[in-house]
Homo-oligomer: A and B are copies of this chain.
Amino acid sequence: MTLKSKNRQKEILARSARLFRKKGYAATSIRDIADAVGMKSASLYNHIKSKQDILQRLLLPIAKIYVTSIDRVNDSNLPAIKKLEQIIRDQIIITIENPDAVSLVPDQWFFLENNEAEKNNAYDAYIQLRNYYEKIFLKIFQEAIDEGDLKPVHIEIACFSILSTLRRLYSWFARHRTIDQKILEQELIMNLLGGLRT
């Protein structure tokens, strides 16, 4: 594979991410993508296997970025409450660095297909990554309670609430790009964790 074709693939993925974000996977056609890249739809197939292939090559890497990020925090020696703060900071950074790919996480993952015949279980693979992330998040949250830094709340409600906000951050950020990142971090940490501290 040449460098040029790799760049072409990257461009196709980036343009697709933007279109999927704007219109949704189902409402975005291969022709839409071809137009955005500047070629005919048939030519796209020299670079990608299928429309589904594009979605998978957007969602699975971003899901792995999230998992890698929470693993690193989890392996650190910080107190659990500091780990939670770092997880929020990391999510903000991931969102700012990959806004289009991140935008697919709340909604478009559902269009991943589970083709068992071809051992192409992108749907299952994605769900597994997401569940793993949430499991670690819940575990750290419980530790912060055990360590006396958070109130003994219903952890599933609290984690749902925190993750709902972080998953939607991309859309807020699109409308407020000029905000200082440090202020955003401080405010979100206060919003999301402040009510739960002892």
Oligomeric state, in number of copies? Answer: 2
A192 within 8 A of B: yes
Within the complex, what minimum Cβ distance (angstroms) separates A151 from chain B?
8
Contacts of A106 in B (CB 8 A): 106-107
- Across the interface, do B27 and A157 meet the contact criterion of CB distance under 8 Å? no
Within the complex, what minimum Cβ distance (angstroms) separates A154 from chain B?
5
Question: Can you list, as one digit per residue, whether each of A155-198 has a CB less than 8 Å from chain B (1) or not (0)?
Answer: 01110110011011000100010000001100110111111110
- Across the interface, do B183 and A154 meet the contact criterion of CB distance under 8 Å? yes
Contact of A187 among B111, B157, B188, B191 (CB under 8 A): B157
Contacts of A151 in B (CB 8 A): 190
Q: Which of A39-90 contact B (CB under 8 A)?
A: none
A117 within 8 A of B: no
Contacts of A176 in B (CB 8 A): 156
Q: What residues make up the interface of A, taking CB atoms closer than 8 Å to B?
A: 23-24, 26-27, 106-107, 110-111, 151, 153-154, 156-158, 160-161, 164-165, 167-168, 172, 176, 183-184, 187-188, 190-197
User: Could you pull out 10 A-B pairs where Cβ atoms are within 8 angstroms?
Assistant: A23-B110, A24-B26, A154-B183, A154-B187, A160-B165, A161-B191, A190-B196, A193-B195, A195-B196, A195-B197
